[in-house]
Structure 1
Amino acid sequence: MKRDALFDNAKVILIFLVVFGHMIQPFTDGSKPMYTLYMWIYTFHMPAFILLAGFFAKGAGNKGYIAKLAKKLLFPYLMFQTIYTGYFFFIGKEGWASGLFYPHWSLWFLVSMFCWHLLLQLFSRIPPITGMAITIAIGILVGYFDTIGHAYSLSRTFVFFPFFLAGYWLTKENIAKWRTIPVKIASIAVMGIVAGLLFFLPEINSGWLLGSKSYEVLELADAGGLIRLSIYVLAGLMIVNVIAWMPRREMRITNLGQRTLYVYLLHGFFIQFFRQIDAFKVDNIMDVVGLAVLSMLIVLLLSSKPALTVAKPFIEGKLPLLRKRQQTS
């Protein structure tokens, strides 16, 4: 599929929010503004990222598709599951001895992404509305089973699959309708209302937005299904609102949209180290701005050519320097 600046810009902005969200998470306890900012970001940033991943999965079913995905997703998962285990041990982080199929921190995304593509082999043959209804029903039902959780990234796979499937069925024409002036105006009101509700209503467990825990663990087993359905609706609205405002023109950061996997896999080395040594504190708005600037610098650093050169063997199983020498010899 020909690259479109809109989608690359969206991926850069969303990966920045992933890093920034992880950066501010330790400061949400006891701070209503930080809690509101964190939860507001989490209402849409991963669902939107997953929706875009589904949008670019149009080639599902092509010859060799799954084999290529296994190399692209499972190879780096195995590499970084091992690397992060050693790194967490080195910095003294608790829970470093995670099993091979109990994904460290953000690595769940790779396992779930592979599973979403597998599920797509079936659901791409089902009419869109029927398929979406089934996936939402499954996403709601899995919350009632304590045995479906973080292991193998099973819970998140089922909970977030509706966004991936929705992205698969979306067209550029659909997305263009989200970017009209009336939608943009309405989106400002909706995003403001969501922020206001998060600030003034009683705090809820962030686990509801992470999708990795059962309703029993979240201590609202009876109302769990209704709450998850509400979160689906909220996330859907927020995705439309946010994509409505994504810049369409080519910018200096646009090409970084091709490198977001590197940022996603590597930024944990910074975040976990900062958390382990209590590197920062937040006392005022300028501290938050400083964390945002640092998050953007991390994105730029991990998107740079030197970072790609060093990390490429671990992420793509390629040795770019060696290949270049072979081509010139």
Structure 2
Amino acid sequence: MGAKGAGAKGRVEWVDAAKGVGILFVIAGHIWWQPGLAHRMIYAFHMPLFFILSGYMVKPQANVPLIWRQARSLFVPFIAFSLILIAADFLIEGVRGQRPIFPDVLSAVEAIVLRTGALRGPFTILWFIPCLFFARIAWNLVACFWPDPFARRWMVLIALVMAGGHWIAARTTATPLGLMAVPAAFTCYWIGQLWKKREPDAAMTLFLLAPLAAVTLFWLPPVNLKPGDFGMPVLSLAGAAAISIILCRIITWLPHLVSGPLAWLGRASLVIMYVHVAFIHYLTPYFGHWALFGIALAGSVSIHLAAAATRPGRFLLLGER
């Protein structure tokens, strides 16, 4: 799709806009969580989309500097938001006269580090950032030696990684630091690279991607990466990729009047990812679904703006130097 809308710091507008659309689906998925068509369609692709887009944008780099940069940009906000959410839960539930999710800080930290797949309430999304980190580093370690994603050895590796992921998920529910989702996230990075190297043509989109996307949306079991539920082997993740690519192609057709605000949301998506569930969790007894959607989005955006306004906020919450 090229670099249409390329902006400052090498950002590509349609990629950021796709993240913006993705984060709207993430919020919706945590509000309309009951089983049904809406839930199935959202969970068919919404989290793989972020990993595929990350895979589309990455390039192999020196491993040690990359690890340090990723640790700063991802784990500093991860630690900061984890502590903020712990404190907020104690405070808010104390005011409401309710029991907090964790009895004490040590129990909360232990769950966040060792049992991210079992996290709930405002903590439910904390698996995503460490998973993103480990998938990025793992992909880079391999890509430095195998830069061509179409090489046969990549396909063999991906088959082994996903088979291992399914095997492990069937035998344990242990999910320290989002590791259960890493096989699928790693595979999504590879899919993003395939897509970047060889853009699907009109025939492939019409006769392969579109039918696969439709089958995935309406029939295949969706993926739920957090506990390591990858849906139907091969097909569910392939379908998520097909939906993601078609969605991104549609986004490239949008006028800047629409894609610009979506791109801004995409650039704020990590902060929104961290805090939107807290708004939903604490306000669900008092508001309907659409009101919750608006409040979660507006509240999360406000926190992003507040963090971006100060140097400590940019370092601690946005992961910027």
State the TM bucket, normalised to the shorter chain. 0.7 to 0.9
The answer to whether the 8 A contact 1:184-1:241 is kept is: no
1:5 maps to 13
Q: CA deviation at 1:52?
A: 0.8
1:210 to 2:224 alignment = yes
2:185 maps to 160
Runs of 5+ unmatched residues, structure 2: 1-8, 94-98, 117-122
Structure 2: distance between partners of 1:63 and 1:154? 20
The answer to whether the 8 A contact 1:15-1:263 is kept is: yes
Q: CA deviation at 1:293?
A: 4.4
Moved more, 97-106 or 67-76: 97-106
Q: Deviations over 1:271-307 (max 9, x none)?
A: 22224xx2345xxxxx5x555545553464445x335
Structure 2: distance between partners of 1:232 and 1:193? 12
SS at match of 2:223: helix
Q: Which one-letter code corresponds to 2:256 in the other structure? A: E
Structure 2: distance between partners of 1:47 and 1:312? 27
2:308 maps to 308
Q: CA deviation at 1:193?
A: 4.9
TM-score, normalization by structure 1: 0.72
1:238 maps to 243
Q: CA deviation at 1:168?
A: 3.6
Q: Any runs of at least 4 consecutive aligned residues in structure 1 with deviations exceeding 6 A, and if so which?
A: 184-189
The answer to whether the 8 A contact 1:24-1:291 is kept is: no
1:258 maps to 267
Structure 1: distance between partners of 2:198 and 2:300? 29
Q: CA deviation at 1:230?
A: 2.6
- Among candidates 267, 274, 280, match of residue 271 of structure 1: 280
1:220 maps to none
Runs of 5+ unmatched residues, structure 1: 30-34, 199-203, 216-223, 282-286, 320-329
Structure 2: distance between partners of 1:228 and 1:88? 37
Q: % of aligned pairs identical?
A: 17
2:3 maps to none
SS at match of 1:255: helix
1:1-329 → structure 2 map (5 Å cutoff): 2-25=10-33, 28=34, 35-58=36-59, 60-61=61-62, 64-90=65-91, 91=93, 92-95=99-102, 97-98=107-108, 99=110, 100-102=112-114, 103=116, 104-124=123-143, 125-126=145-146, 127-129=148-150, 130-145=153-168, 146-147=171-172, 149-171=174-196, 174-175=198-199, 177=200, 180=202, 183=205, 191=213, 193-197=215-219, 209-213=223-227, 227-248=232-253, 249-251=255-257, 252-253=260-261, 254-275=263-284, 278-281=285-288, 290=291, 292-294=293-295, 296-298=297-299, 300-303=301-304, 305-309=305-309, 311-316=313-318
Structure 2: distance between partners of 1:265 and 1:163? 21
Aligned length: 283
Q: Which one-letter code corresponds to 1:52 in the other structure? A: L
Q: Deviations over 1:66-105 (max 9, x none)?
A: 2111101111122222222232333344357331513442
Q: Relative to structure 1, is the Cα distance of residues 315 and 16 closer, same or farther in structure 2, using a 3 angstrom cutoff?
A: same
SS at match of 2:113: coil
The answer to whether the 8 A contact 1:149-1:212 is kept is: no
Structure 1: distance between partners of 2:157 and 2:167? 16
Q: CA deviation at 1:162?
A: 0.2
Q: Which one-letter code corresponds to 2:177 in the other structure? A: Y
Q: Relative to structure 1, is the Cα distance of residues 55 and 194 closer, same or farther in structure 2, using a 3 angstrom cutoff?
A: closer
The answer to whether the 8 A contact 2:128-2:226 is kept is: no
Structure 1: distance between partners of 2:218 and 2:193? 32
Q: Relative to structure 1, is the Cα distance of residues 44 and 317 closer, same or farther in structure 2, using a 3 angstrom cutoff?
A: closer
Structure 2: distance between partners of 1:45 and 1:240? 12
Q: Relative to structure 1, is the Cα distance of residues 71 and 40 closer, same or farther in structure 2, using a 3 angstrom cutoff?
A: same
